Structure 1
Amino acid sequence: MSVPPSFPITPLLPEIRAALAAQPRLVLEAPPGAGKTTQVPLALLDAPWLAGQKIVMLEPRRLAARAAAQFMAAQLGEPVGQTVGYRIRFESKVSVATRVEVVTEGILTRLIQADPELAGVGGIIFDEFHERHLAGDLGIALALDVQATLRPDLRLLLMSATLDGERIAAWLDAPRLTSPGRSFPVRIEHPPVRAQETPEHHLARTVRQALDDTDGDVLVFLPGRREIAQAQRVLEALLPSPGGRGVGGEGTGEARHSAPAVPSSAPAGAPSPAGRRESAHIDVVPLHGELSLTEQQHALAPAEPGTRRIVLATNVAESSITLPGIRSVIDSGLAREPRFDPNSGFTRLETVVISQASADQRAGRAGRVAAGVAYRLWPQSRRLERSRSAEIAQAELSGLALELAAWGVTATDGGGLAWLDPPPPGALAQGREMLQALDALDRDARITALGRRMLELGTSPRLAAAALRAPHEQRAVVADLLALLEARSPLRGTQARNDDLRVRLAALHAWRDRRGGAPRGEVDTGVLAAIEQASKGWRRRLDVRTAATGVPDSHAVGDLLAHAFPDRIAHCDGDDPRRYVLANGRGARLHEHTALLGEPWLVVTDLRLESRDSLVFSAAPLDPRTLERDFPAHFSRERTLRWNEQRGAAEAFEEHRFGAIVLSRHSVPVHPADALPAMLAAIRARGLDALPWSDHARRLRARMQAVHAWLPERDLPDVSDANLLATLEQWLAPYLHGKHRLDALGAEELSQALASLFDHSQRQLLDAQAPEQVVVPSGQSRRLEYAGAESPVLAVKLQELFGLADTPRVGGGRIPVTLHLLSPAGRPIQVTQDLRGFWERTYPEVKKELKGRYPRHPWPDDPWTAQATHRAKPRGS
């Protein structure tokens, strides 16, 4: 097959063919516009290793899959569906003659799961692999497993514009080829935002600058459809339509608009920098995945003669497709990327700041045909992350867990598959727990018959569970709910914050029944049109012939979605009508303008997690009889204990529950065996200060801490807070037996419990090495005050130590006592651990100062030999 020599990838095609003839894996790096997506598959069709089999090529987006298939088919002079076809969600154009099948990433997983030997497939191409979608990572992991075990002849080719090629080539044990592409210099500018300027007007002003400063078309990168529609409205105001035709009505998806070029912002009377540009007409064109096929084709086609285009695109234009005629790029620096949203339980698209690699790719679009300019709508000082992170590292993994279970993998480390970045074990375990709650996995994490049917349906496990458990007569409504929950809300205006999910369904039905005649401003008809298209696809998949219309039963939505969100079935708190308890034990609350006030039971589909009670964004009422019919295993009668903090006592109840929701409760007697765990838990929650410590018990514990620290070789019990709390069952529980209130434990019992930690020999050691008292030379016993591992303190009058030369020691002679030497009146004179030095150096000064103040107390010249005493001299002596 001859390939036109007009693509930068063309000189590299022989090397690509040779590399895949010699080994089964290859990594190809080529920049956008090099032609890799449309030229490489066709160049491989006559490869001997393919032997008449087909090539499956993965594209990360539906729009790119269609466009690639259409371009390749046009090169062959055939309609799509012959040699080249495509298969995406709800749409397929393939035939028995198809040799190159372009698919979106999830389709490959279905192909491999259905036929692990991939009969009739000779090679798989992973295009734009740098986007690192979860489905793509799973697809290559499964394909590598197939290649290693069943199909050593299978060829795998990873292609990307911005790969970490060295790392990926090492991971695959594959050679790496690089195409330089075709590019011209691109000047980078950062037009600053002006004071009080909205992002839309900052964009419009930059568009005007790009039209004035450059020839050709302008490509504007925006994060999503909503921002594209906002930009359309602003540009419509700046570009009056000569025929009365606007840029496109709200939500219509249309944005074709021919008008005279925007006037230059140059000073009055100044010559235009490009006079010929002012005579051109402007065609404002959106480009995103929700457009119709006709609108997508218009966006991808070259501009008509005498027309310049402003293409408002999502990141689908970043690398997956090629746009002709672009000379300038305006980059918002934002994109919609998949992120797991714990509030809704789904992975949704979230607006994020792009990586430096994406910014470079976007800028490169301006230099494909000639030198160009890239205008970045963020400060030049902003630093971007080097590259985007893999979705597998931050997504909810229940869908991945279900796929792995179907493949026979039950381990939480990814099961020995060759991952570039393995799934996080914690997230994978959480996904499996949810699948077990949905009955998709059994207790051993093996897939059930229901789980296999859920996989075949091709949606999230939650929604698949709801769809497959729905009665057949309700499946038309289920199709609508699947489409609604996977899309953003169509409600606008005063209805935008309506938290009753039934209102969205009613809006869809009203729009469907009136064929688009819904009240303007209350709904986004473009979103409704996209939801209707998705619903048609679900109806086909669920074998439903007619669409649902009218208003469904008041509980129908909640009853159906209970199977998707069994953990978010919610019951109203009797004391607060806006507060609910979820079956998973969390609390939730309705916002103050809720439409659901007074509903006793709800199924919550979207909420914002907060530290105490989550805020409900979307829910539907539920008939509790549905729970009795469909969820009998979730009901239980349990005897429970609760700690009453105010009373400091354990209380027992018998509760009737649905999950964690208490339906009824009545008090029952507390058994001593039941009370003990509650008391121990309360002590751990409140800390050791909750116990009745006496001075004696505190001193005992301090001595025990001291010898534990001073004599580590004796392996004495640790009485630190952490260890005492961890071992309550061993030392304290015997003294709590038969009690159900903390204040029933006496201080003497606590002392006994503490002392029980040391056996007889250890207590003897304690008394010898950390005595509670010492006898001083005066013959009196004086208390030692201990503070953990620090030196104990002996507070004693100076006269009671006459005749004692050296400081007393404890801890086997290792620890000198800290002496607090006191005056006859008990006031501090000196703190020391060196008694000998005190007698030699300090005592003479002390004697001189205090002898006159305390004349009735002895102040000998020689304290070494003087008689120690705790008394004053008799009067007259």
Structure 2
Amino acid sequence: MPMDLPIDDVMPQVITALRTQGRLVLQAPPGAGKTTRVPLAMIDANLAKGRILMLEPRRLAARAAAERMAQTLGESVGQTVGYRVRGASAVSNDTKIEVVTEGILTRMIQENAELPGISAVIFDEFHERSLNADLGLALCLEIAGALRDDLMLVAMSATLDAAPVAALMQAPIVTSEGRSHPVTPNWLDNPLPKTTRYEQAVADLVVHALSREEGSALVFLPGEGEIRRVQTLLSRMVPSDCTIAPLFGAMDFKAQRSAINPASSGRKIVLATSIAETSLTIEGIRIVVDGGRARRAEFNPSSGMSRLVTTRVTQAEATQRAGRAGRINAGAAYKLWTRGEDGALAAYPPAEIESGDLSAFALELALWGAQAEDLAFVTPPHAGRLQEAKALLHMLDALDAQGRITSHGRKLAQLPLHPRLAHMVARGGRAAAPLAAILAERDPVRGGPLDLTHRMRAVAGERTAGEVHHATLARIRQEAKRLAKSTRTDGPEDIGTLAALAYPDRIGLRRTGDAARFVLSGGKGAVVPDGDPLAGQRLIVATDLDGDPREARVRQATALSESALRATFPQQISWHDHCVWSRREGRVLTRRQERFGALVLDDRTWSDAPDDLVARAMLEGIIQLGLRPDKPAARFLRRAALVTNNPDFPDFSEPHLMETLADWLLPHLGKTRSTSDWKSFDLLPPLRARLNWDQQQLLDRTAPPHLTTPLGRQIAIDYDGDTPQIAVRLQEMFGVTRHPMIGGQPVQVTLLSPAQRPVQVTMDLPGFWDGSYADVRKDMRARYPRHPWPDDPRTADPTLRAKPRGT
């Protein structure tokens, strides 16, 4: 008889909900037993006429869950309970419960939407919110609504925010409150100093926990690198009877199995990634040491790249991890943060649909024949990132111009690969299979050159530079054999060509004058480490980058010949005429360029560029340089400013002129194409051309360009100051009895001596005649006796002449 588990208390509610409503959201803490109990209880209650499909997020968890349920029944895996994961399966005609990884459900649905022979689908550990789980649930909801109203759906999790999922599924929530055994939390007394080395802090906390607790320990770390470093430290710090076992996704199943099996003697320390958070029971574990970090894949739409980032764990993840200590006995959880820091942790990790690469997701939607908004998602995908994914699929010939899946796209959807690699395998020769397996796995060669050629040699069994990871090579060889069935005998074999098929947006052209920096065909920059042989290549294909949106660092690449590029993408390489303003050179550049995406393969002078294109490019320069009016143009603009309140008069303000350059300036630019040309450009004619005859008359009346003196001479009016002003010889204004006015305001008149020196500034000429003129006359007569200085300037004749000598 299996031992009692907390989930048993709510099992009647689970069965009743499924029997009456066919749907359920089940919340149960870690160790409650939901993974192994619920499917078996459904079989015992005769709820399922066909098979029960249970989804697990990882291959190890799927196999382990199937084995535990089979053990409960006293059977071998493959009888009542079986599993199916990539590369392995154990099922038979008698199988009633099939545990699969999440991507397999999507394939089954795409092959036959009615899911024949399937009575129920259970989404275990749904809180992890993988893209496959979110898509699988959305598709199952549509199938249940349109084709299979008898299809039972269950979402299970220990730390799920259940309300939104239940609302989406229109399902009741059943909660199991109990835990198999209590887990005592332990926090740090003080925050870790910033100078503390992370791996050393984890190792110290493990030693501390072992000294206070009994049993084996499960230590959570973000990745393989940290696991290896902590393993090295602990090997010198713990007693010899402690077995240290790594556990991470890239290990083969035999090594993973060894890690989760109980120690034959002494204590065991399992150093694990998040692979051990869910659906795994590791015998003898009574201590959890949580390093407080998790590694997630984040997609950057601006660079089109995904990268792994290390972040703080969330409260949900910390709860999952701590629960591993209470599955068999009472346990303790030691956390590498303080109790105060605990409250600052985010509640839940982001769903993959929010932060992951949506390329495969978009391909599955296209294969299903639906838009994202047509399906019910807990979290809808971001529209912009989904569009980026569709653009990539179009580049890979998987979608047509209207976004519909092509026959080639259907082939790609059948391959268990990212669409990039599936495209390469479908179009490539035999070499595409091992290359795809390399690119889908962790780098099997560490510390050597970047070139993929070295990885291909290692897979072929040849010696190569760098540290070879043999377990990874074994997985790559196995996967390459499987993929070889999908390659073509007549496809390209060149590694550069194959890589370019998968990464057409990451073909790099070396920047002029810089042997280490490249511009990628997708428009981003990339840098090759100094000293690597690929730094000297003209063209490369970057297959792995660190994701820096400013300038990504190349971590893996291969050389590409220009002839291979031209042969692979003949339709995408074309000539483009460019007529653009160069800020750096201060002139319009006219070039003819042969381009592939953002790459300029050939660049020539375009000597006969049309004048209208040059003029339009020059407008961009003028926007940067500004109008720079010379004196006549500036004077015109100041005059026009006095009329702008008139609705019949054009707007001559600088902002408006800059906004409308193409309307009034473009026809007059002619051969103007540089900063020096613009400095000598006469701006007055195009400004005046904006006015029709009536508007010109209005301007001349309101703000005349000059004032006519009694002698008929035209004196230019200066509009620089707050009021219009002129300078004129005093004698020339004799006989003027009304002060000159413009626009209802007096003109400032500077009266000059015969020597053209100012003698008086006035805005009231009649007042000057009646007032200070007498003093000016007295002074001027002494200085300029040959010039007339009448007693009454109001009645005197204007003149610029002097008296003849001797008179």
Aligned position for 1:250: none
Equivalent of 1:284 in 233, 244, 261: 244
Aligned position for 1:116: 113
Matched to 1:567, the amino acid is D
Could you say what secondary structure the match of 1:294 adopts? helix
Equivalent of 2:316 in 357, 361, 379: 357
Equivalent of 1:459 in 417, 434, 456: 417
- Alignment partners' CA distance in 1, 2:691 and 2:751: 39
**Contact kept in structure 2, 1:583 and 1:658, CA below 8 Å:** yes
- Alignment partners' CA distance in 2, 1:707 and 1:376: 76
1:486-501 matches, within 5 Å, as 486-493=440-447, 495=448, 498-501=449-452
Deviation at 1:406, TM superposition (A): 0.8
Aligned position for 1:734: 667
Could you say what secondary structure the match of 1:593 adopts? coil
Could you say what secondary structure the match of 1:488 adopts? coil
Residue 124 (structure 2) pairs with residue 127 (structure 1): yes
Specify whether residues 416 and 76 from structure 1 end up closer, same or farther in structure 2 by C-alpha distance, changes over 3 A only: same
1:101-250 matches, within 5 Å, as 101-182=98-179, 183-184=181-182, 186-190=184-188, 193=192, 198-239=197-238, 241=240
- Alignment partners' CA distance in 2, 1:300 and 1:94: 23
Aligned position for 2:474: 532
Could you say what secondary structure the match of 1:319 adopts? coil
Deviation at 1:770, TM superposition (A): 8.2
1:327-366 matches, within 5 Å, as 327-340=286-299, 347-366=306-325
Specify whether residues 870 and 691 from structure 1 end up closer, same or farther in structure 2 by C-alpha distance, changes over 3 A only: farther
**Contact kept in structure 2, 1:656 and 1:663, CA below 8 Å:** yes
Could you say what secondary structure the match of 1:620 adopts? strand
- Alignment partners' CA distance in 2, 1:820 and 1:489: 84
1:646-657 matches, within 5 Å, as 648-657=586-595
- Alignment partners' CA distance in 2, 1:742 and 1:870: 52
Deviation at 1:585, TM superposition (A): 4.8
Aligned position for 1:54: 51
Structure 2 unaligned runs (5+)? 709-713, 728-732, 734-740, 753-758, 780-790, 792-807
**Contact kept in structure 2, 1:707 and 1:769, CA below 8 Å:** yes
Name which of structure 1's ranges 146-155 and 655-664 shifts more when overlaid on structure 2: 655-664
- Alignment partners' CA distance in 1, 2:749 and 2:330: 91
- Alignment partners' CA distance in 2, 1:395 and 1:87: 25
Could you say what secondary structure the match of 2:114 adopts? coil
Deviation at 1:404, TM superposition (A): 1.2
Aligned position for 2:386: 428
Deviation at 1:761, TM superposition (A): 6.4
Deviation at 1:221, TM superposition (A): 0.8
Could you say what secondary structure the match of 1:378 adopts? strand
Deviation at 1:679, TM superposition (A): 4.0
Could you say what secondary structure the match of 2:294 adopts? strand
- Alignment partners' CA distance in 2, 1:626 and 1:307: 60
Could you say what secondary structure the match of 1:596 adopts? helix
**Contact kept in structure 2, 1:774 and 1:783, CA below 8 Å:** no
Deviation at 1:104, TM superposition (A): 1.4
Specify whether residues 459 and 823 from structure 1 end up closer, same or farther in structure 2 by C-alpha distance, changes over 3 A only: same
Residue 495 (structure 2) pairs with residue 557 (structure 1): yes
- The C-alpha deviation readout for 1:291-333, integer Å capped at 9, x for no partner, is 33333334334455x6332221211222332334433321111
Matched to 2:348, the amino acid is S
**Contact kept in structure 2, 1:216 and 1:327, CA below 8 Å:** yes
1:608-647 matches, within 5 Å, as 608=546, 614-643=552-581
Aligned position for 2:439: 485
Deviation at 1:536, TM superposition (A): 0.9
Matched to 2:409, the amino acid is G
- Alignment partners' CA distance in 2, 1:868 and 1:165: 97
- Alignment partners' CA distance in 2, 1:131 and 1:664: 49
- Alignment partners' CA distance in 1, 2:395 and 2:574: 16
- The C-alpha deviation readout for 1:779-800, integer Å capped at 9, x for no partner, is 99975558xxxxx667999xx9
Deviation at 1:584, TM superposition (A): 3.7
1:695-706 matches, within 5 Å, as 695-698=631-634, 701=637
Could you say what secondary structure the match of 2:555 adopts? strand
Matched to 1:635, the amino acid is I
Residue 43 (structure 2) pairs with residue 39 (structure 1): no
- Alignment partners' CA distance in 1, 2:8 and 2:204: 40
Aligned position for 1:849: none
RMSD value, Cα: 4.3
Specify whether residues 580 and 79 from structure 1 end up closer, same or farther in structure 2 by C-alpha distance, changes over 3 A only: same
Residue 625 (structure 2) pairs with residue 694 (structure 1): no
- Alignment partners' CA distance in 2, 1:770 and 1:313: 85
- Alignment partners' CA distance in 2, 1:763 and 1:393: 62
- Alignment partners' CA distance in 1, 2:78 and 2:692: 86
- Alignment partners' CA distance in 1, 2:184 and 2:625: 69
Matched-pair identity in % = 38
- Alignment partners' CA distance in 2, 1:507 and 1:118: 42
**Contact kept in structure 2, 1:604 and 1:620, CA below 8 Å:** yes
Name which of structure 1's ranges 739-748 and 443-452 shifts more when overlaid on structure 2: 739-748
Aligned position for 1:384: 345
- Alignment partners' CA distance in 1, 2:691 and 2:172: 68
- Alignment partners' CA distance in 2, 1:594 and 1:11: 63
Equivalent of 1:670 in 608, 630, 646: 608
Deviation at 1:146, TM superposition (A): 1.6
Deviation at 1:22, TM superposition (A): 2.1
Matched to 2:231, the amino acid is Q
**Contact kept in structure 1, 2:126 and 2:133, CA below 8 Å:** yes
Aligned position for 2:804: none
Matched to 1:20, the amino acid is L
Could you say what secondary structure the match of 1:632 adopts? coil
- The C-alpha deviation readout for 1:250-300, integer Å capped at 9, x for no partner, is xxxxxxxxx1xxxxxxxxxxxxxxxxxxxxxx2323222233333333433
Specify whether residues 858 and 54 from structure 1 end up closer, same or farther in structure 2 by C-alpha distance, changes over 3 A only: closer
Matched to 2:777, the amino acid is P
- Alignment partners' CA distance in 2, 1:70 and 1:869: 118
TM-score (norm 1): 0.76
Could you say what secondary structure the match of 1:220 adopts? strand
Deviation at 1:478, TM superposition (A): 2.4
Specify whether residues 653 and 160 from structure 1 end up closer, same or farther in structure 2 by C-alpha distance, changes over 3 A only: same
- Alignment partners' CA distance in 2, 1:557 and 1:571: 17
Residue 34 (structure 2) pairs with residue 12 (structure 1): no
Aligned position for 2:87: 90
**Contact kept in structure 1, 2:31 and 2:326, CA below 8 Å:** no
Aligned length: 756
Specify whether residues 782 and 335 from structure 1 end up closer, same or farther in structure 2 by C-alpha distance, changes over 3 A only: same
Could you say what secondary structure the match of 1:86 adopts? strand
1:548-587 matches, within 5 Å, as 556-572=494-510, 575-587=513-525
Could you say what secondary structure the match of 1:101 adopts? strand
Structure 1 unaligned runs (5+)? 242-258, 260-281, 546-552, 787-791, 801-807, 826-855
Deviation at 1:394, TM superposition (A): 2.0
- Alignment partners' CA distance in 2, 1:706 and 1:222: 74
**Contact kept in structure 2, 1:717 and 1:757, CA below 8 Å:** no
TM-score (norm 2): 0.82
Residue 364 (structure 2) pairs with residue 403 (structure 1): yes
Could you say what secondary structure the match of 1:402 adopts? helix
Deviation at 1:648, TM superposition (A): 4.8
Name which of structure 1's ranges 201-210 and 688-697 shifts more when overlaid on structure 2: 688-697
Name which of structure 1's ranges 636-645 and 332-341 shifts more when overlaid on structure 2: 636-645
Specify whether residues 199 and 692 from structure 1 end up closer, same or farther in structure 2 by C-alpha distance, changes over 3 A only: closer
Aligned position for 1:468: 426
Residue 467 (structure 2) pairs with residue 523 (structure 1): yes
Max radius of gyration: which structure? 2
Matched to 1:435, the amino acid is L
**Contact kept in structure 2, 1:680 and 1:728, CA below 8 Å:** no
Name which of structure 1's ranges 680-689 and 93-102 shifts more when overlaid on structure 2: 680-689
